[in-house]
Structure 1
Amino acid sequence: MIRISLCMIVKNEEKVLDRCLASVFDLMDEIIIVDTGSTDRTKEIAGKYTGRIYDFAWCDDFSKARNFAFEKAACDYIYSADADEVLDEENHEKFRLLKENLMPEVEIVQMYYGNQLANGTVYNFDRELRPKLFKRLRNFVWTEPVHETVRLLPLVYDSEIEITHKPEHNHGDRDITIFEQLLARGEALSKRLTDFYARELFVAGTKEQLIHAKDYFISIVKDSETDADRLKTALAVVVRSCFEAGDVLTMYQYAMKDAASEASSEVCCILGEYYQNRQDYEEAILWFYNAAYEQQSILNIRYQRKIPLEGLIACYHALSMSEQEAYYQKELSCIEPG
């Protein structure tokens, strides 16, 4: 049977930490908690489960904190968890069986991450596989009988274990602040981080944060090396930023750039909201309908159904068109909460 180190980074998690640790502690052979500056009872609660509690001076870098935690691990495998995760009874049993039967050749075990849409996260799906269990030491292996080569890709096992994500609040403001600090220091954001920055802005960004992001995303639009996916992401943010700033001409300029290659649901919704505010309800209906039924969301799935349907309902209500209003109310009621 394999041995597992649980590694966690935490800060002010007194409301959820006990729930998380209680659901997994008996599956773990050691528990390592790295605290990044708690001012509540987080370390006291962690102390009920382990004496391996370490302080880490927060430096706006989650990777550095997680690497510090991983360095303390001594078991065969490392399980990485967040305090707002829970393993229910059924999946606890699946995890126990995995621990008893996992082949030592496996280097990464993926587990399902569930309950995403219920909590306003940046993900557009409710359930996804994520790497959660990692072999601490990797053995390099030669493959092929001739022209041999070292296998570089890890051996990954996709399990049926599902972890329930139950955050107490959205972390968007914290993450947006980190993005702003990175850019202020002149650090380049990868394509992946740019996408997450845009998603955070569309989920939790304030008016000020959206306006602040405008120049960065305009620079992406103007970069001739920008690929099509990144261009549409940047255009959506620029259109939203200009809308919030009241810069209608620039908003429309970039919205038409997006529409030239099938406008995203996000851009359609922003145009719908603009015309709704002007009480041009017929034009607003056109854009909200396109967002809901003709186009696809790229950053926030709510812009593809929930938000435009709410816009359609409001516009038809303003026009005293009760039959159409009732139709879209029914459509909205069929959408899962989230």
Structure 2
Amino acid sequence: MIVKNEEDTLANCLNSVKEIVDEIIIVDTGSNDRTKEIAYSFTDKVYDFEWINDFAAARNFAFSKATMDYQLWLDADDIIIEKDKAAFLDLKKTLSPEIDIVLMNYNYVVDNNNNPIYSFHRERLLKRLNNYQWNDPVHEYIEYRDNYLISEIAVTHKKIDAFSDRNLKIYEEQLRKNLPFSSRSLYYYARELRDHKKHIEAIKFFNKFLDTKQGAPGDNINACLEIGKIYKVLGDNDNALKYFFQSFSYDIPRAESCCEIAAIYKENQDYRKAIYWYEHILTLEIPNDASIIMVDSWNFVPAIELAVCYYNNGDIEKAVYYNEMAGKFKDKHESVLHNREFFKKERSKDFFYKEYKH
């Protein structure tokens, strides 16, 4: 782990892993709170690293201190919950020495029961003898190819930190110094620009990333999605649709893109097209790769939106059907409960109207 001023999160993280790992290595990059004191209560392997605006350099220093067969990395606001701890211990017993890297789910946004809302895979467990190196100063990553295992074990993110311009400043310093950007850095710089509402610049750098043609399919899809969302914010639905549809050129259509397309048609009260795209989503399978997954986009969102679209299209029976489908995914959701009562009243009015006419 690399840490700085993490007194509010570090103990929670380390308590969640102390029984499943064989050594704990903490690299501090300049804390002025109780972070190091907390770290020493779990391990004597606490090291200082002078911060040089380079997360990869700090992580490589941390990896250099490891002595076990495999290295697990975490951030201070990550935890491993009980069911994943058990699965992790099983993996330690059964992992083939042929495996170099294990990809694990990163449940980046979760609900109150730790069910994933926003999730993707990351390189998480790495064979030490291969001397893997972290790359890029921000949103650092490790390149991997063969001999990896995709595991369903998850690391759960418990983000509590405030909005920061730290990463944006590192990228801007790179620009000022005329330092080269990897294709991946272009993508993440564009995301930082998006987060800081620098919309036109964000579109420019997402397109620069796409123009490199070096991105993984999932990142290309997400770049198109982000450009489309920015155009929606700017009130330009034509360009938004262009980029949502462009995402299909990189892989089989993803639910996240289809949801955005359907939402535009729904907003325009073109319910026939909205219904087509929402129903199409329910035929798709969630990919088991490194893609970023918004879980609700694959099931709950299309179902609940179909209930609305079919009602507005005059088909209350299908509206009821899809509302109940949405309830199978989230039975206590306020929209499901509201719709259930609303449709019950509408059906009653329809029944009395037909009886009256008769």
2:322 matched to 1:328?
yes
In the alignment, the residues of structure 1 paired with residue 240 and residue 40 of structure 2 have an alpha-carbon distance, to the nearest angstrom, of: 53
| 1:47 corresponds to | 40
In the alignment, the residues of structure 1 paired with residue 294 and residue 87 of structure 2 have an alpha-carbon distance, to the nearest angstrom, of: 28
Shift of residue 87, structure 1, vs aligned partner:
7.0
CA contact (8 A) 1:35 1:54 kept: yes
Q: Secondary structure at the match of 1:31?
A: coil
CA contact (8 A) 2:101 2:147 kept: yes
Which aligned pairs between 1:186-265 and structure 2 lie closer than 5 A? 187-190=180-183, 206=195, 208=197, 212-220=201-209, 223=211, 229=217, 232-255=221-244, 257=246, 264-265=254-255
2:290 matched to 1:273?
no
Shift of residue 208, structure 1, vs aligned partner:
2.3
CA offset digits 1:303-329 (Å, max 9, x no partner): 333333333233345556432222222
In the alignment, the residues of structure 1 paired with residue 117 and residue 37 of structure 2 have an alpha-carbon distance, to the nearest angstrom, of: 29
CA contact (8 A) 2:105 2:119 kept: no
Q: Secondary structure at the match of 1:169?
A: coil
Residue identity matched to 1:289: E
Q: Using a 3 Å threshold, how does the CA distance of structure 1 residues 314 and 97 change in structure 2: closer, same or farther?
A: same
Q: Using a 3 Å threshold, how does the CA distance of structure 1 residues 248 and 331 change in structure 2: closer, same or farther?
A: same
CA offset digits 1:10-36 (Å, max 9, x no partner): 244444432443454466665321123
Residue identity matched to 1:323: E
CA offset digits 1:156-209 (Å, max 9, x no partner): 69698x85423212889779945992797264333x6667789x79xxx65926
2:71 matched to 1:79?
yes
Which aligned pairs between 1:1-338 and structure 2 lie closer than 5 A? 8-25=1-18, 30-38=23-31, 40-73=33-66, 75-77=67-69, 79-82=71-74, 83=76, 84-86=78-80, 88=82, 90=86, 94=90, 108=100, 110=102, 113=105, 118-123=115-120, 130-136=123-129, 164-169=154-159, 177=167, 181=171, 185=175, 187-190=180-183, 206=195, 208=197, 212-220=201-209, 223=211, 229=217, 232-255=221-244, 257=246, 264-293=254-283, 299-302=292-295, 303-318=297-312, 321-335=315-329
In the alignment, the residues of structure 2 paired with residue 159 and residue 285 of structure 1 have an alpha-carbon distance, to the nearest angstrom, of: 34
CA contact (8 A) 1:317 1:325 kept: yes
Shift of residue 66, structure 1, vs aligned partner:
0.9
CA contact (8 A) 2:199 2:230 kept: yes
CA contact (8 A) 1:14 1:41 kept: yes
Give the TM-score normalised by the residue count of structure 1.
0.64
Q: Using a 3 Å threshold, how does the CA distance of structure 1 residues 28 and 248 change in structure 2: closer, same or farther?
A: closer
Give the TM-score normalised by the residue count of structure 2.
0.61
| CA RMSD across the alignment | 4.8
Gaps of 5+ in 2: 132-143, 332-358
| 1:5 corresponds to | none
CA offset digits 1:252-282 (Å, max 9, x no partner): 4445555689754333322322233334434
Shift of residue 332, structure 1, vs aligned partner:
2.2
In the alignment, the residues of structure 2 paired with residue 296 and residue 91 of structure 1 have an alpha-carbon distance, to the nearest angstrom, of: 22
CA offset digits 1:57-81 (Å, max 9, x no partner): 44553321111112334x3545333
In the alignment, the residues of structure 2 paired with residue 176 and residue 317 of structure 1 have an alpha-carbon distance, to the nearest angstrom, of: 47
Q: Secondary structure at the match of 1:166?
A: strand
What percentage of residue pairs aligned between the two structures are identical?
A: 28
Higher mean C-alpha displacement, 234-243 vs 247-256: 247-256
Task: Count how many residue pairs are aligned between Structure 1 and Structure 2.
Answer: 300
